[in-house]
Structures are given as structure tokens and as C-alpha cells.
A and B are shown apart, each in its own frame.
Chain A
Amino acid sequence: MRETAPARGPNDLHEVVVTVNGVARSARVPARRLLSDLLRHDLRLTGTHVGCEHGVCGACTVLLDGEPIRSCLTFAVMVDGAHISTVEGLAETDGAEPDGELGPVQRAFRECHGLQCGFCTPGFLLLTSELLARDPDPSDDEIADALGGNLCRCTGYVNIVRSVRRAAELVAEELRP
């Protein structure tokens, strides 16, 4: 029988180093700490919201090395060394700055009234950003595919879909020389 390492308790701390929105961050966390809690409570990036903690609602969606994931179903220690994008990274300036210049996806959601209470919104914004990064002109089916796994209780999704279409236009305008 292989010799086992000394027993470790649930409260033992592990160093996690991540690049969040281009900035290197680190924290010492227990192995059971969720990525959503690392972001929200250790790094104080509270734009990522937690709606169900069982991976269904998608409010906690962040991009892990460019791919959307549920941060409530991911342990913080699993993402050591990774790049993470959150809603705080979408505006041109720091999200805490009220006059910060909104990015095209954010502007589209404001123009099209694609949010009401705003709780699910960060997840939809990140899904939209990821979608447009790989497909700048998505069809309605592709939009439904990309966003169809996140819940919104306020908007009935009508204006979220409109916002995605508008965001595609705004991104295209920005890319135009």
C-alpha cells in the first residue's frame, strides 16, 4: 500500500493564483471554496452573481481561458494558473467607476433594455461576448444555442435576444476601419 500524505482538513489553505481580467490575483483558500466565492468574497469582484449554486441558472457564468463555465460548480483550486474573465472586465475602465465607458455588449443591453433587476445580466453579458468573439454575426438559432442555458426571471428573454443582435452590430461598427 502506497504511503499516504498526512491527512488534510477541509480548512487547510491552498494558494491559488489566477489572472482575472488581465490582472494577476492570488488568495489562500480551502479546497472546498467555490470559484464564485473566490471571485466574490476573496477578490471582492461581486459582479459575478450566484443564483442557484447547482449549475442551472448560469448567473455565475465567467469565462475560463475564454470558455464559459459555471463558477458555482468549479472549485477555486481547480483554476490555479488560469485566465478568468468577469463582468468587471467588460467596460473600458474599472467597473466600479460609474462613468466608465461601456463596451459594445454592455451598450447594446442598455439600448435594448436587455436587463431589469440585473442579477442574471453578468452571465448573459459574458455568454454574448464569448459568442460574438467566435461568431460576429450569429443567427437567431445560434443566439438561442449560446444563451439558452441561462435563466432570466424578469425580461422574458425578448430584449436579451434583441440586445445580442444589437451587440453584433456595435462590435462590427467598432471593427470597421
Chain B
Amino acid sequence: MSTRWFGERVERREDQRLLTGAGRFLDDVGHDALAVAFVRSQHAHARITGIDVTDALDVDGLVAVYTWDDLPGRLAEPLPLLIPHPDLTQPRTQYALARGEVNHVGEPVVMVVAVDRYVAEDAADRIVVDYERLPAVVGIGAARSAEHLVHPDVPGNVAAVTTQELGDARAAIAAAPHVLELDLAMERSLSSPLEGRGVHARWDADDRRLRIRTSTQTSTGVRAAVANILGLPDVAVEVVTPDVGGGFGTKVVHPYPEEVLVPWAARLLGREVKWVEDRYEHFVSATHERGQEHHVRVGFDDDGTILGLEVEFWHDNGAYTPYGIVLPIITATQLPGPYRHRHYRVTFTSLYTNTVTCTPYRGAGRPQGCFVMERTVDRIAGKLGLDRADVRARNLIGPDEFPYDLQMTFQDGRPLIYDSGDYPALLAQVKELVGWDGFPAERAAAAAEGRRLGIGLACYVEGTGVGPYEGGHVHVETNGRVMVATGLTSQGQGHETVLAQVVADELGVDVADVYVTTGDTRRFPYAVGTYASRAAVMSGNAVALAARAVRDKAIRIAAEALEAAPDDLDIEGGFVHVRGTPSRGIPLSQVAVLSNPLRYSFSKEAQAATQFVTPADPDVAPVPDDEEPGLEARDYYSPVRSTFASGMHAAVVEIDPDTGVVDVLRYAVVHDCGPLINPMLVEGQIHGGVAQGVAGALYERLVYDAGGNLSNASFMDFLMPYLSEVPTPTIGHIETPSPLNPLGIKGAGEAGVIPGSACLAAAIEDATGVRVDRMPISPPELWAMTRERVAVT
């Protein structure tokens, strides 16, 4: 197989339309659609005692107003529990419109449909909802104390408790020469894509089909849910993902209330209906993540070898649990990182609060797990007076220990077994890139000038390419174009490009002749979605397998036409030819013609496939039993378990002692996601991930007041970094192929964000000598901590 495109810095196929304004994002379609606005709860916890829409009825251009009472059948029931788990004993999901009670600020209560959004908001403003306020449960402390309950029938606000254990951690810690206890926390944040959510639906009464466009990470998931809730045949519901302006996790939740309400209204009204989320709505109704508090006990020996680790943590799942307990499971199972643990026990409690529901945001529980593990290793080193990198080196799983079985169950319900990696090589490279060994001299030189520098390091392992499966369809048209479809969706990663690279190589065609469609149920109805750094692994391998099948078929057909042995044929540049005789062959376009026996020709080239022209064996059917017409194939990739990427980040920071401002002077990344399909795109993913990691460490947090109001629900107050706040990372790669999939690849989408908080906390602690146990950290907080001198123990 030629590998001409795999590994190349191919420019993106997506960019032409996105650079010219010809992209089609959700709000770029449906200009004439009716517009929706929602009346959302302004209270964190309240009983709805009345809804008065009278004033709204006078608004010119109002079309309809809906409350829960108007919802029929399944639409009036709670939305689906997407990922059930035996330990999630108290799952709760929301109603599409609140039924008598609201559980967070932002929960939709009334849906207004009007001629445009301005008018819809006019009408929404005139609707009066009467509430009887109930005590709000805000924050993990309030949830744990259970003085008040979010859901009256959920004791202790506890949705789930889960324990996993490897070995006997408590006994190992009891027997260890040294023991440390730590409390570590991370605050709440959100994905915050530049484009919010949005849904457009059109009911075709003639065809009796519903077409939904939604800014989602899973079009097939939306389709299944909407068809089920609205009682429509699956085949009558088409979900098309337009260009999506970023997702980062929050758009994998489905169906959001709006995703069923808008299609329902479109069908009921017989009109196109559209809802486009505004930024405030995004802050208070698109899902959040990251709020966790952890207690750690670790036992270790004199040289820093970890003997036993016990972690208990509390996860703030917000008001509902549509996504199950995947987030805390990921923290629990990815916390061990690249280290050899013989005894590890982890218990988490997932708690309800009267805040926006939490579901994965890029990194998905891993930034917290990494923060806990890495802070623990740093403290071990501090306690023993050892170099932090040396203590890590001592505990790393060796390159000869794979597959490495952690004897736990991962987020996909499959065994947690690391497939491959070379952690010592990562450590050596990241130390080199950041200048670890020379840093003491650098710090001393800076200190002589009155500058305060620190260095930090953080390591992670990321389970990627999570199942259950993805599929691919590859079709060579009679014009020679290779049309590829896969069901998962794209939010800017560049799937149209990398999947084209994979298919071009497998099929022996130019990448420019390959056209990839993602996230359109009309083109590929079976899929799971884009999350967990899985798209390249899952769909990459699926389209590779489908392309191999097409290649085999092309060679079978061409061999007959050329009267050559199949084994003697090769495909290069879209031309099937006899090896060693490049002129003896036929183009794939003509093979496509021959693959489909015709009665009726449609072009001069197609005449070759018609019944009086094709040489026919009178005893063989034109389409033999084991063949199908058309030069196309569909195949699926379903892994036995996840493949584990890994990496390490290191940073040098300077602290301004007068202000507490943290300046990131250097940021080094070493990353192993196996062979790189397109290094330029992988680096882009790392750049973006690092930016979000730094943002989560130093700038971004969602601040709820005690009453459950989100105090900073705008870009004015939620500090998303601009260009001036983000460092340019130095990036190194190592490539240990995965033995689990045909292309040997691992996911790369989320990695960049994972160690950001751990790495910067370590560097800040190193620079200031104060304990950094909670992230993010703001300049005033750091300034106050340095004044209080909360020394590292």
C-alpha cells in the first residue's frame, strides 16, 4: 500500500468554503423560518404556580406559545437517560419544558414561536411566570450537607456512588513508610464554542418527512431520539449536521429540549421553525463541566515509589443526569495516568445541585484526574526532597509492560488496558524541550534580578477511540469522484481532509478526488458520534476498511476487463493497471461503469456496460450472487476496547509578586497519538487544547452565587482568553502505534487540554512556594495566598 497522503501536511478540504463565507452554519439556513425564543427560569429552584401569556397574545407576529401542558405523548415525559449505569440509582432527566418545577436558572419553561426572533423575544418578555421559590442547592458542600434537596425524592442529593479497586489500597497505605493526605479541587467551566447551539426543522407534508438541521456532535443520536419521542418512523426523520462552530463536548448531549421542541412545532405548524441559541442562553442552558472535590491518601517509600493510592471524590452533576456518570467514571479510571499502581482504590459520589447539568467538556473528567495524580506526585517529591521528574520516572510503566492491565472498567464498559506507549521517552523529551535540567540555574539567574520563576510538569494517559463502532461508505462514481460518507459529525477538526487522506491511500487515488460527508443520516444512517477523541480512530479505520473492499472489487472487475490476474493489478492515481506495465489498464471511472450492468446507457462511456456490448458468460448472471452493482462498499470498525494515547506537558512561569499575574514563559508538549495522519492538523488540535488548558488554569470559571444565579454569564465576565493570554507551545511527538486498529492510530482531539491545570499549578507552586490545591487560580487569589504564605508541606 502506498502511504503518499497519510502523514502529509495536506491543506484542508474544508477551508475553501469557510474562508469565503460560503460555509453553512445553522443560522445560515432557514432565513424564512419562524423563530423561537424561550422563557427560561430565573430561579435556581422553584415551583411554578402560574403562567400568564395574556399580554403576549397582543404582539403582532406571534404564532404560538407552548408550555408543558401543550406537549403530547412522549414529548410530555422526561427526556431520555442516555447512558444508564447500575450505580446510577437515582437518575433524573428534565422535561422538554418545565413541568411544575424548575431546577436551575435557564431551564426552559415556555416556548414562543413568532415571525422573527425580535418578535419572539417581545412576546416572551410579556409572559409572566409565577414561582414559589425553594431553597437552592449550590456547590458540592451544600449538596453533601443535604440540608436541602434538589429533587425531593433523591435522598442526600446523591445520584450515584461507585467504587473501583485494584489490589488492596488501604492495607498498602497502612504499611507504607510515608503517607500524605491532600484535598484538591477544580471549579466549574464550560465548552463555550464560538457558535452556540441551534436547531432548524422542516416538515415536508408531501413526503411526510422531517428534516432537522442541528448544531450537534451526534446526528444519528438526535435522529433516534426525535423519531422515538415524536412517534415517527426512523426513515421519516433526516438529521443533517451543518458546519458546526465548535462543540468541545457540550453538543454531544441530545436531544436537548430544543432539539425535540423545534421539530415538533415545525410539524404541528407546517412551517419551517428555527431556534438559535444566544450567548446568555448558552451559559445557562448548554451543559457545563469540571466541578469536583477530591480527598487523596497516598502511601510511598523512601525513593518515591507509590505503594498505595486511595481517592475519594465528589462530582457536581448539576440538576440532571442525562449523560449518566460517565464524567466521574473517566476521572476515576484515568487518574492513574502513566504510573504503575499496584493498589488503587477510588470512590466517587455524584451529586445533584440546582445548577446547569454537567456533561463532558473537552478532556471530560481527565483534567481533574490528572490534576489529582500530578499534584500528588509533586507532593511526594516535595516531602522526600526529590526531583519531581525523578519521582515520576521511578513510577512510570515501562515500554515493555504493554499491554498493561489496570484491572478496572473504563467509561465504555470495557476493560481498562493500556495498549501501547513509551512513557520514559515522553519524559526525556519533555524535559529536554522545556529545559528541565538547566532550570535551577535559570531560576537562580532570574532571582538575582528579582524575578520569580517556577517550572512544572504533568503527565497523562488518555483513553481514545472509544467504541462501540463507526462505519464508512466509499463509492467511486462513474465520473471518477470518490464519495465517502461516515455518520459521525465534525466541529472543525478537519475530518473531510484526514478521512480523504486515508481513502486516497487505500484506494490509490488523488486526495483531491475524494469528497467526504460527515454527520448526515441520509448518507450514513448508523453512527455514534464525535466525542472522546474518537473520530479519526473510529471513522478513519472504518473508511479504510470500506476503501479496501472497494479496491478489491475494482481489481476483480478490472481483471476481467483486462483479462489479467487480479494479483497482477495495482491502482495508482485512479488508474487500475498491470504491475510493471502502467499503460495497460483502465481508469477507476470506467471500472465504476463496468460495475453496474446497464440496460440503458446514460453517456458514451456507459455504453460499455450495456447488455449487447458487455461480453457475457451465458451461464453467469450479470450480477453474480456474491456481488452487488456499483463500485462501492460499506464497512464498520468496532474496537474491542479503547486505545490509549499519552503525553506530558511542562511549563515555565513567572509570577509578578505585586499583582499575582502569572506569565507563561515557555510551554512544552510531547504527545503520542501513534502515527499522525496529518501533522499540521494534530498540531492545531494541540494548540487549541493547550489554549483551553491554560484558560481553565488561569482564567475561566463559572461563578454561581449562593442563590444559584450564574454571576458571569457573558463574555464580558467569563474570561475566555484572547491572543494575548495564550502561549505558543513547543511540540514534540513520539509515535507508538496502537496494535488495536488497522491504521495503528490513537485519538488526538482532547489531549492538549488535559494536563494544563496540573502543569501550571505545579509551576506556580514552584515559583511561589505556596500550595496550589484548587484550580483555576486568579491573580488576586494567588496574590492573597502569597501574602498568607500557605507553605507547601
- The answer to whether A binds B is yes
Tell me if A8 is interfacial: C-beta within 8 Å of chain B. no
Inter-chain contacts of B723 with A (CB < 8 A): 144, 147-148, 150, 157, 160-161
| Partner-binding segment picked from B11-19, B608-616, B734-742 | B11-19
Tell me if B244 is interfacial: C-beta within 8 Å of chain A. yes
Inter-chain contacts of B61 with A (CB < 8 A): 11
CB <8 Å contact, B720 and A151:
yes
CB <8 Å contact, A110 and B19:
yes
Q: How far is the CB of B710 from chain A (nearest CB, A)?
A: 15
Q: Which residue of B lies closest to A50 (CB)?
A: B27
Tell me which of B15, B192, B680, B683 has the highest count of chain A C-beta atoms within 10 A of its own C-beta. Answer: B15
Q: Which residue of A lies closest to B117 (CB)?
A: A37
CB <8 Å contact, B684 and A153:
no
CB <8 Å contact, A119 and B715:
no
Interface residues of A in 130-158 (CB under 8 A from B): 144, 147-158
CB <8 Å contact, B279 and A118:
no
Inter-chain contacts of A41 with B (CB < 8 A): 31
A-B contact count (CB 8 A): 180
- With the chains together, A117 CA to B192 CA distance in Å? 13
Q: How far is the CB of B771 from chain A (nearest CB, A)?
A: 29
Q: Which residue of B lies closest to A45 (CB)?
A: B21
- With the chains together, A111 CA to B687 CA distance in Å? 16
CB <8 Å contact, A96 and B22:
yes
CB <8 Å contact, A116 and B684:
yes
CB <8 Å contact, A153 and B194:
yes
Tell me if B153 is interfacial: C-beta within 8 Å of chain A. no
- With the chains together, A59 CA to B493 CA distance in Å? 19
Tell me if B402 is interfacial: C-beta within 8 Å of chain A. no
- With the chains together, A11 CA to B60 CA distance in Å? 9
Inter-chain contacts of A122 with B (CB < 8 A): 21
**Mask: chain B, 718-735; 1 = CB below 8 Å from A; 0 = not:** 001011101011000000
Tell me if B691 is interfacial: C-beta within 8 Å of chain A. yes
Interface residues of B in 701-716 (CB under 8 A from A): 714-716
Tell me if B147 is interfacial: C-beta within 8 Å of chain A. no
Q: Which residue of B lies closest to A110 (CB)?
A: B15
Tell me if A172 is interfacial: C-beta within 8 Å of chain B. no
CB <8 Å contact, A98 and B25:
no
Q: How far is the CB of B133 from chain A (nearest CB, A)?
A: 28
Inter-chain contacts of B25 with A (CB < 8 A): 46, 49, 119
CB <8 Å contact, A150 and B722:
yes
CB <8 Å contact, A153 and B192:
yes
Tell me if B423 is interfacial: C-beta within 8 Å of chain A. no
Q: How far is the CB of A123 from chain B (nearest CB, A)?
A: 10
Inter-chain contacts of A40 with B (CB < 8 A): 27-28
**Mask: chain B, 19-33; 1 = CB below 8 Å from A; 0 = not:** 111111101100100
- With the chains together, A33 CA to B118 CA distance in Å? 8
CB <8 Å contact, A154 and B246:
yes
Tell me which of A100, A110, A113, A125 has the highest count of chain B C-beta atoms within 10 A of its own C-beta. Answer: A113
Tell me if B410 is interfacial: C-beta within 8 Å of chain A. no
CB <8 Å contact, A49 and B680:
no
Tell me if B597 is interfacial: C-beta within 8 Å of chain A. no
CB <8 Å contact, A106 and B195:
no
Pick from A49, A96, A125, A151: contact of B715, CB under 8 Å: A151
Inter-chain contacts of B245 with A (CB < 8 A): 49, 51, 117-120
CB <8 Å contact, A46 and B28:
yes
Q: Which residue of A lies closest to B722 (CB)?
A: A148
Q: Which residue of B lies closest to A48 (CB)?
A: B21
Inter-chain contacts of B192 with A (CB < 8 A): 153
Inter-chain contacts of B259 with A (CB < 8 A): none
CB <8 Å contact, A52 and B714:
yes
CB <8 Å contact, B688 and A156:
yes
CB <8 Å contact, B724 and A57:
no
Q: How far is the CB of A20 from chain B (nearest CB, A)?
A: 12
CB <8 Å contact, A109 and B19:
yes
- With the chains together, A10 CA to B689 CA distance in Å? 44
Tell me if B314 is interfacial: C-beta within 8 Å of chain A. no
Mostly, the B contact residues are loop
CB <8 Å contact, A53 and B279:
yes
Interface residues of A in 95-111 (CB under 8 A from B): 95-98, 100, 102, 106, 109-111
Inter-chain contacts of A50 with B (CB < 8 A): 27
Inter-chain contacts of B17 with A (CB < 8 A): 98
Q: How far is the CB of A104 from chain B (nearest CB, A)?
A: 11
A residues contacting the other copy or chain, number (CB 8 A): 62
- With the chains together, A88 CA to B19 CA distance in Å? 9
Inter-chain contacts of A117 with B (CB < 8 A): 193-195, 243-246, 491-492
Inter-chain contacts of A115 with B (CB < 8 A): 15, 18-19, 492
Tell me if B34 is interfacial: C-beta within 8 Å of chain A. no
Q: Which residue of B lies closest to A111 (CB)?
A: B11
Tell me if A87 is interfacial: C-beta within 8 Å of chain B. yes
Interface residues of A in 1-57 (CB under 8 A from B): 10-11, 30, 32-33, 40-41, 44-54, 56-57
CB <8 Å contact, A47 and B20:
yes
Tell me if B681 is interfacial: C-beta within 8 Å of chain A. yes
Tell me if B278 is interfacial: C-beta within 8 Å of chain A. yes
- With the chains together, A117 CA to B326 CA distance in Å? 26
Known contacts A117-B194, A153-B688, A155-B687, A102 near B716 by CB under 8 Å: no
CB <8 Å contact, A151 and B194:
yes
Q: Which residue of B lies closest to A160 (CB)?
A: B723
Inter-chain contacts of A49 with B (CB < 8 A): 25, 194-195, 245
Known contacts A41-B31, A47-B22, A116-B493, A159 near B684 by CB under 8 Å: yes
- With the chains together, A150 CA to B21 CA distance in Å? 18
- With the chains together, A32 CA to B116 CA distance in Å? 13
CB <8 Å contact, B715 and A56:
yes
Inter-chain contacts of B729 with A (CB < 8 A): 156, 158
CB <8 Å contact, B688 and A118:
no
Tell me if B690 is interfacial: C-beta within 8 Å of chain A. yes
Pick from B492, B714, B724: contact of A118, CB under 8 Å: B492
Tell me if A63 is interfacial: C-beta within 8 Å of chain B. no
CB <8 Å contact, A158 and B715:
no
CB <8 Å contact, B680 and A113:
yes
Inter-chain contacts of B683 with A (CB < 8 A): 113
Tell me if A90 is interfacial: C-beta within 8 Å of chain B. yes
Q: Which residue of B lies closest to A93 (CB)?
A: B20
Q: How far is the CB of A140 from chain B (nearest CB, A)?
A: 10
Q: How far is the CB of A38 from chain B (nearest CB, A)?
A: 12
Known contacts A154-B492, A157-B723, A160-B723, A98 near B22 by CB under 8 Å: yes
CB <8 Å contact, B21 and A157:
no
Inter-chain contacts of B244 with A (CB < 8 A): 117
Tell me if A121 is interfacial: C-beta within 8 Å of chain B. yes
Pick from A11, A44, A111, A118: contact of B23, CB under 8 Å: A118
Which residues of A come within 8 Å of B, CB atoms? Answer: 10-11, 30, 32-33, 40-41, 44-54, 56-57, 59, 86-88, 90-91, 95-98, 100, 102, 106, 109-111, 113, 115-122, 125, 144, 147-161
Which residues of B come within 8 Å of A, CB atoms? Answer: 11-12, 14-25, 27-28, 31, 60-61, 118, 122, 192-195, 243-246, 248, 278-279, 491-494, 680-681, 683-684, 687-692, 714-716, 720, 722-724, 726, 728-729
Across chains A and B, which 10 residue pairs bring their CB atoms closest together, nearest first?
A47-B21, A117-B492, A119-B245, A118-B18, A156-B691, A156-B687, A56-B715, A116-B492, A46-B28, A95-B20
Other 14 A-B pairs with CB < 8 A, given A57-B715, A98-B17:
A10-B122, A47-B23, A52-B714, A53-B278, A57-B194, A86-B21, A102-B20, A106-B19, A116-B492, A116-B688, A117-B491, A120-B245, A161-B723, A161-B728
List 5 interface pairs A-B (beta carbons < 8 Å), by A numbering.
A96-B20, A106-B20, A148-B722, A155-B687, A158-B728
